């Protein structure tokens, strides 16, 4: 966006859409509607397009595959958006709404179960907004900023919810990749069909059979092969005798051997499956090969050029990549032959982080997930299709395994951000910087280290609550200084920090106007107390009472936080330290009821 603004390429309203969006919505009509809306409301910055999970196509399946859904409040007459937040319910199944958002709408409309598509119709003023607000990293940041500062900026955001017959979904993980492919084959995305998506010749090159089976006229399918339902076979593909295919996509020039069963499989062009194989819920990338009598089940992924088999069984979300083994790795070759077959050229993917743990001999390595490599494959299927830190093991690129080229884990960047944030606070204390200057500095390092706003809030609160200890350790370069600070001294110093930087906290925590903001602050308080029990545990009660008295945390937020189990081993000890105040709040709540 910033590059577009600098190059001055945008001269009129435009549509912003992610590359992984699949939709049959009429984008031209959305653009025309946005222009009509701007005639009535010149301050309309953009129209946010979302999809409801009620009605139309198989929305319930999409809802289960999405990471989260949203609730929204808009003006029933103009469509002007007043509130947009993740649909989080409390233990009683209630959703928290902002009263101000409801009262400001006049006639308001409540939307639930909305799916974020990353799709928006934007005015020419959107790119300059990203230039002016350099901490904006996504469309979500822009929408949040406009809603929070509407009175100051003078801009508004409108909401458009697609109708029941309009299909839209982002293919952000393998579950959605499989689901959207099924919907395409089953004509839920009409007029986008397999026969019409590849150009004008595709309609004549494919035979359309019963139960949504599409077979290219240039493909060779044995007469005894059974194509049950929802199957697409591309040009040049060969399917042998006695095969059974259901819910599959066979790309161009693929080969499927005799007596092979494929279920919920996706073969990209050039993939080969030999005879007597059984493959389900798996993805085979370009030119990969599965040799005779092999089984792939439970979400396996074979990357480009991989060969496995013969007579192997692969399960449990394996990600198989090409291996760059050296000549002196005889023991490794033997293990690969047992696991992936004697003719394999592959290896099971293992992250660089896992390798470092093994080399360091970390005694706690077995206490985490069952397998680090399994967590990577699960991430592919359940969270995100593309990862920034994926490291391919390729015989064509041996340099990627050199220690100097390893990509550090995300925790390293976050540690740098914490140190930079501590420097900002120290400079502000020494030079008496105003809050506006601190905000500019914090936003700059947030953008530099790509820290999400929620994570920024948590780190900021954590750093302020531990500021006396962290400053002491940094100045004296000694970890023993923490025992020299008594609980009373620490509370006094933290209280001064909170009084001085309360406007800074209110800026990032939106004035602590919602329970979600207070919970982020309280969880950071828990992290600080559990990480540094001496001296924070002994002053936890007075700190929590101070939060309550100064309106940093409301009663409902404190009780909600106390009901959480906590992720630290000594979280129970912290709750015992503050039990007196929790009891007092509960009694006061019962008396008011």
Domain presence at residue 60: yes
Structural domain tally of the chain?
Answer: 3
Over the range 297-314, which residues count as b (16 or more CB within 10 Å of their CB) and which as e? bebbbbbbbbbbbbebeb
pTM: 0.59
**Does residue 373 belong to any structural domain of this protein?**
no
Asked if residue 394 is part of any domain, the answer here is no
Of 352, 367, 392, which marks where a domain is finished?
352
Residue 296 lies in a domain: yes
DSSP-assigned states of every residue in 183-240: HHHTTTTTT--TTTTT-TTHHHHEEEETTTEEEETT-EE-TT-EE-SSEEE-TT-EE-
Residue ending a domain, choose from 319, 337, 352: 352
Same domain? 23 vs 160: yes
Neighbouring residues of 60: CB distance < 8 A, sequence distance ≥ 6: 53
Q: DSSP class of residue 287?
A: T
Cβ proximity of 562 and 578 under 8 Å: yes
186/37 same-domain check = no
Q: Domain check: are 243 and 330 in the same one?
A: yes
| pLDDT the model gives residue 270 | 95
The tokens describing 36, both together, are 């009509």
Q: Are residues 147 and 262 in the same domain?
A: no
* 387 in any annotated domain: no
Which phi and psi (to 5°) does residue 447 adopt? -70, -40
Residues 164 and 203 in one domain: no
DSSP letter at 293 equals S
Give the CATH number of the domain where residue 39 resides. Answer: 3.90.550
Q: Are residues 130 and 199 in the same domain?
A: no
- Same structural domain for residues 197 and 326? yes
165, 178: one domain: no
Q: What is the CATH number of the domain that holds 565?
A: 1.25.40.180
Q: Tokens standing for 286?
A: 């370009």
Q: Are strands 81-86 and 70-75 parallel, antiparallel or unpaired?
A: antiparallel
217 and 302 within one domain: yes
pLDDT digits (tens, 9 = 90+) for 504-526: 998 888 888 788 888 899 999 99
The residue written with tokens 């409390």 in the block is: 90
Give the Cα separation of 387 and 389 in Å (integer).
Answer: 6
Q: Are residue 414 and residue 549 in the same domain, yes or no?
A: yes
Where the chain has pLDDT below 50, the residues are: 200, 203, 325-331, 351-378, 383-411, 478-483
Give the span between the Cα atoms of 290 and 55, in whole angstroms.
Answer: 41
583: CB partners within 8 A, 6+ apart: none
Residue 380 belongs to some domain of the structure: no
* Domain carrying residue 85: 2-170
Considering the domain architecture, whether residues 148 and 16 belong to the same structural domain is answered as: yes
15 and 140 within one domain: yes
The C-alpha R_g of the chain, in whole angstroms, comes to: 28
How far CA 584 is from CA of 91, 482, 512, 571, 590, in Å, comes to 22, 31, 22, 20, 10
Alpha carbon distances (Å) from 81 to 103, 113, 120, 320, 342: 13, 16, 13, 46, 60
Last residue of a domain, one of 320, 352, 384: 352
- Look at residue 283 and tell me if it is in a domain: yes
- List the beta strands (DSSP E) in 238-356: 238-239, 244-250, 255-256, 261-267, 272-273, 278-284, 289-290, 295-296, 301-302, 307-308, 313-314, 319-322, 346-348
In a domain, 396, yes or no: no
């Amino acid at each position: 966006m910033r590059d577009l603004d600098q190059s001055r390429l945008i001269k009129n309203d435009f549509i912003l859409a992610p590359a992984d969006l699949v939709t049959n919505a009429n984008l031209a009509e959305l653009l025309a509607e946005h222009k009509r809306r701007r005639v009535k409301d010149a301050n309309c910055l953009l129209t946010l397009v979302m999809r409801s999970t009620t009605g139309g196509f198989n929305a319930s399946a999409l809802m289960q595959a999405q990471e989260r859904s949203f609730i929204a409040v808009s003006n029933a007459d103009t469509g002007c958006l007043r509130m947009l937040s993740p649909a989080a319910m409390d233990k009683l199944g209630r959703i928290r709404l902002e009263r101000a958002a409801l009262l400001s709408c006049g006639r308001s409309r409540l939307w639930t179960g909305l799916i974020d598509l990353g799709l928006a119709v934007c005015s020419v003023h959107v790119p300059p907004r990203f230039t002016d607000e350099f901490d904006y990293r996504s469309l979500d940041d822009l929408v949040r900023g406009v809603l929070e500062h509407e009175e100051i900026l003078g801009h508004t955001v409108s909401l458009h919810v697609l109708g029941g017959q309009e299909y839209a979904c982002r293919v952000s993980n393998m579950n959605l990749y499989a689901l959207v492919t099924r919907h395409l084959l089953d004509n839920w995305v009409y007029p986008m069909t397999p026969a019409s998506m590849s150009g004008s010749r595709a309609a004549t090159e494919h035979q359309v059979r019963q139960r949504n089976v599409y077979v290219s006229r240039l493909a060779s399918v044995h007469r005894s092969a059974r194509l049950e339902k929802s199957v697409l076979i591309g040009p040049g593909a060969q399917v042998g005798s006695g095969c059974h295919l259901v819910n599959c996509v066979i790309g161009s020039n693929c080969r499927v051997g005799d007596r092979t069963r494929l279920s919920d499989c996706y073969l990209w062009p050039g993939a080969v499956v030999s005879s007597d194989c059984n493959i389900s819920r798996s993805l085979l990338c370009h030119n990969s090969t599965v040799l005779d009598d092999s089984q792939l089940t439970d979400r396996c992924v074979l990357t480009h050029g991989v060969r496995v088999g013969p007579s192997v069984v692969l399960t449990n979300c394996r990600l198989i990549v090409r291996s760059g083994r050296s000549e002196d790795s005889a023991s490794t070759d033997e293990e690969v032959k047992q696991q992936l077959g004697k003719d394999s050229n592959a290896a099971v993917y293992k992250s660089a982080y896992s390798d470092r743990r093994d080399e360091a001999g970390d005694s706690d390595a077995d206490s985490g997930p069952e397998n680090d490599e399994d967590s990577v494959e699960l991430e592919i299927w359940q969270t995100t299709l593309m990862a920034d830190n994926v490291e391919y093991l390729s015989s064509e690129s041996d340099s990627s395994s050199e220690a100097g080229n390893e990509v550090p884990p995300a925790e390293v960047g976050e540690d740098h951000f914490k140190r930079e944030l501590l420097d900002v606070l120290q400079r502000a204390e020494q030079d008496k910087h105003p809050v506006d200057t601190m905000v500019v500095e914090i936003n700059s390092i947030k953008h530099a280290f790509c820290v999400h706003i929620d994570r920024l809030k948590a780190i900021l609160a954590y750093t302020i609550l531990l500021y006396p200890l962290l400053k002491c350790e940094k100045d004296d370069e000694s970890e023993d200084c923490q025992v020299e600070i008594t609980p009373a001294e620490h509370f006094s110093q933290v209280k001064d920090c909170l009084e001085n930087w309360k406007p800074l906290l209110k800026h990032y925590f939106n004035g602590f106007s919602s329970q979600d903001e207070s919970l982020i602050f309280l969880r950071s308080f828990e992290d600080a107390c559990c990480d540094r029990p001496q001296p924070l545990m002994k002053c936890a009660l007075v700190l929590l009472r101070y939060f309550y008295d100064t309106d940093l945390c409301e009663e409902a937020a404190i009780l909600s936080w106390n009901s959480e189990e906590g992720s630290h081993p000594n979280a129970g000890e912290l709750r015992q330290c503050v039990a007196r105040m929790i009891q007092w709040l509960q009694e006061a709540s019962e008396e008011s009821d």
